[in-house]
């Protein structure tokens, strides 16, 4: 007897998406507007959950979904899904990352026009019967410099539209290659240059530790007087208090925001500011975009539930049932190697090389490479997944080289990842030993180390006293050393220490480590479970 496959649609989706499920033989129930208790009561009866941004698939919902196999988000943002909990339960989380790109780009341009010509204030004044023709003096966008902070998929679409308006486009993006910039017709610049030259700034970056408040009070102070600032990307990219002060002072000429640090934004430091325009996160709110993402999520979820095919998954690589047993340990290894390499790419990713040696080179390495790229990019773009990572890399023009060797000099199988960052190559290699991922090489220095949740990577000159000084410093800070592995090129030359610790290492302790004699580089590495 065939078990019926059932999907719960908990947020509004297009009727055509419902038709897709049913035409594929999937039973669908539509129950929108459920409060959490109601969702907890029924979720155990479903194999799939389709949502937008309203329904929260938190750890309680996931725990109650005893049959759940997949959660599909019609859209890109997955802040409302507890991905670690889903992963722990073996539930695939998928989104539709590219279905609303054009709509979001158009909204950014709309905000730019509205801010430049004071459309909202002029509309309110005119409809109030004031006819204040001389009050609203706008600025032309023609021949002005538009600075893009982030030039991925959506940023590139904004650039294309700005160039059609005869604007000059400056782009700051650590992933953007010189070749890709030329192809897009934009000038690749550093952030300082962009701040100094832009007449208008539009943000198109993800929210990460590196991008949070990227337009801080100090950054805003370095912009041109009268600059227009548009944010249709993520709340938290701009210091809202600092921007309000700059609007009040007239340093920032106008601003248009679709996203806010806290949403729903029922109040904000920006509300009521002069020449400020706000919309309630409408970037993806067009009929076309909503239709696209709804149809995509229905197709993806149906494919997975009926055939096992995986697309746009955020927590697993695309691996067939036949390949899974052999690939699984190497997926774990390359995910950890990519996470390691992404954290030491301090100056952006300029090029990537992945080498497969031995038996692993004869396997299907495509999901391995996708896993590595997602792990590499994730420190800068948390929303990236194993499917979208190669697309993101291609969009930014970052060169990727893969090589395979049928044999390895020392091991049955070895994977090596190299990244060019700041004009320098940094590399590491790893193996699977007794089913466990291990590091066997860092910066051409041989050593063997297990991965730990928190690790210290230290590059120093091989001189007496370093190990003692390191242990003393960590001990004084009450940081326990769990594992300690050393390697060196030669006596007195470069040495590498990988130290597994049981506690996080505060910035102040890292600074003390960097101040130790002969220490060249210190990095705290973290490997989430």
Res 158: pLDDT: 98
> pLDDT-based confidence at 387, cuts 50/70/90?
low
Res 317: pLDDT: 64
Give the span between the Cα atoms of 352 and 380, in whole angstroms.
15
Q: Which of 112-121, 157-166, 214-223, 311-320 has the lowest mean pLDDT?
A: 311-320
Report pLDDT digits (tens) over 394-434: 888 999 999 999 998 899 999 999 999 999 999 999 999 99
- Domain 101-278 -> CATH class: alpha beta
Q: What is the 3-state secondary structure (H, E, C) of 471-501?
A: HHHHHHCCCCEEEEEEEECCCCCEEEEEEEE
Average pLDDT, the chain: 92
Strands 351-358 and 494-501 turn out to be: unpaired
- What are the residue ranges spanned by the domains of the chain? 6-99+288-316, 101-278, 317-442, 451-529
Q: Residue 441 catalytic?
A: no
Report pLDDT digits (tens) over 83-106: 888 877 878 899 988 788 899 999
Res 90: pLDDT: 77
Indicate whether 287 pLDDT > 70: yes
Give the span between the Cα atoms of 87 and 385, in whole angstroms.
13
| Active-site residue, from 192, 218, 263, 412 | 263
Res 326: pLDDT: 84
| Active-site residue, from 234, 396, 416, 426 | 234
| Active-site residue, from 204, 281, 416, 426 | 281
Q: Residue 281 catalytic?
A: yes
Report pLDDT digits (tens) over 20-64: 999 999 999 999 999 999 999 999 999 999 999 899 999 999 999
Per 3-state DSSP, the chain is made up of helix, strand and coil in percentages (nearest 5) of 35, 25, 40
Report pLDDT digits (tens) over 52-81: 989 999 999 999 999 999 999 998 878 899
> pLDDT-based confidence at 1, cuts 50/70/90?
very low
> How far is Cα of residue 216 from the mean position of the Cα atoms in its chain?
20
Res 322: pLDDT: 61
Res 320: pLDDT: 57
Q: Residue 106 catalytic?
A: no
Indicate whether 154 pLDDT > 60: yes
Indicate whether 388 pLDDT > 80: no
Give the span between the Cα atoms of 283 and 112, in whole angstroms.
13
- Domain 317-442 -> CATH class: alpha beta
Indicate whether 8 pLDDT > 80: yes
CB 160 within 8 A of CB 184: yes
Q: In this structure, which topology does domain 451-529 adopt according to CATH?
A: Alpha-Beta Plaits (3.30.70)
Homologous superfamily (CATH) of 6-99+288-316 is NAD(P)-binding Rossmann-like Domain (3.40.50.720)
Cα torsion through 243, 244, 249, 253, rounded to 10:
60
User: Do the domains 451-529 and 6-99+288-316 match in fold?
Assistant: no
Give the span between the Cα atoms of 234 and 21, in whole angstroms.
32
**Cα distance between the two ends of the chain:** 38
What percentage of residues in the chain have a pLDDT greater than 90? 75
């Amino acid at each position: 007897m065939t078990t019926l496959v059932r999907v719960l649609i908990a947020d509004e989706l297009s009727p055509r998406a419902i038709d897709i499920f049913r035409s594929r033989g999937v039973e669908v129930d539509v129950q929108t507007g459920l409060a959490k208790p109601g969702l907890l009561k029924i979720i155990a009866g479903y194999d799939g959950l389709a949502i937008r941004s309203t329904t929260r698939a938190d750890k309680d919902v996931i725990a109650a979904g005893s049959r759940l196999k997949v959660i599909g988000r019609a859209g890109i943002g997955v802040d409302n899904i507890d991905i670690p909990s889903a992963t722990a339960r073996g539930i695939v989380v998928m989104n539709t990352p590219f279905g609303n790109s054009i709509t979001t780009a158009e909204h950014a341009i709309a905000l730019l026009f509205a801010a430049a010509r004071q459309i909202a204030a002029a509309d309110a004044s005119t409809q109030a019967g004031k006819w204040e023709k001389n009050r609203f003096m706008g600025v032309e966008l023609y021949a002005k410099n538009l600075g893009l902070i982030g030039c991925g998929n959506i940023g590139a679409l904004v650039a294309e539209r700005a160039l059609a308006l005869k604007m000059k486009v400056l782009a700051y993006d650590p992933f953007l290659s010189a070749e890709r910039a030329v192809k897009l017709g934009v000038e690749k610049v550093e952030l300082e240059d962009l701040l100094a030259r832009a007449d208008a700034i539009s943000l198109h970056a993800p929210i990460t530790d590196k991008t949070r408040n990227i337009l801080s009070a100090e950054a805003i102070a370095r912009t041109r007087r009268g600059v227009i600032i548009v944010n249709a990307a993520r709340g938290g990219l701009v210091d809202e208090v600092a921007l309000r002060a700059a609007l009040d002072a007239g340093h920032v000429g106008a601003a248009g925001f679709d996203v806010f640090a806290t949403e729903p934004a029922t109040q904000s430091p920006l509300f009521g500011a002069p020449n400020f325009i706000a919309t309630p996160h409408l970037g993806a709110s067009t009929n076309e975009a909503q239709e696209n993402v709804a149809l995509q999520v229905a197709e993806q979820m149906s494919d997975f539930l009926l055939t096992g095919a995986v697309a746009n998954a955020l927590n697993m690589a695309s691996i067939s049932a036949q390949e899974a047993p052999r690939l699984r340990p190497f997926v774990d290894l390359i995910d950890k190697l990519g996470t390691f390499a992404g954290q030491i790419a301090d100056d952006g990713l300029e090029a990537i090389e992945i080498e497969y040696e031995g038996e692993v080179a004869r396997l299907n390495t495509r999901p391995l490479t996708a896993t590595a790229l997602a792990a590499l990019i994730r420190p800068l773009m948390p929303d990236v997944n194993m499917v979208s990572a190669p697309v993101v890399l291609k969009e930014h023009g970052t060169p990727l080289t893969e090589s395979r060797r049928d044999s390895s000099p020392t091991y049955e199988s070895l994977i090596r990842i190299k990244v060019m960052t700041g004009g320098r190559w940094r590399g590491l290699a790893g193996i699977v030993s007794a089913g466990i991922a291990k590091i066997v090489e860092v910066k051409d220095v041989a050593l063997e180390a297990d991965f730990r949740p928190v690790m210290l990577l230290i590059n120093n000159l091989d001189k007496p006293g370093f190990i003692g000084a390191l242990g003393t410093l960590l001990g004084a800070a009450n940081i326990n050393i769990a594992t300690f592995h050393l390697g060196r090129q030669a006596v007195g030359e470069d040495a590498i220490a990988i130290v597994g610790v049981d506690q996080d290492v505060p910035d102040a302790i890292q600074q003390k480590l960097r101040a130790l004699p002969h220490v060249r580089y210190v990095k705290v590495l973290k490997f989430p479970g």
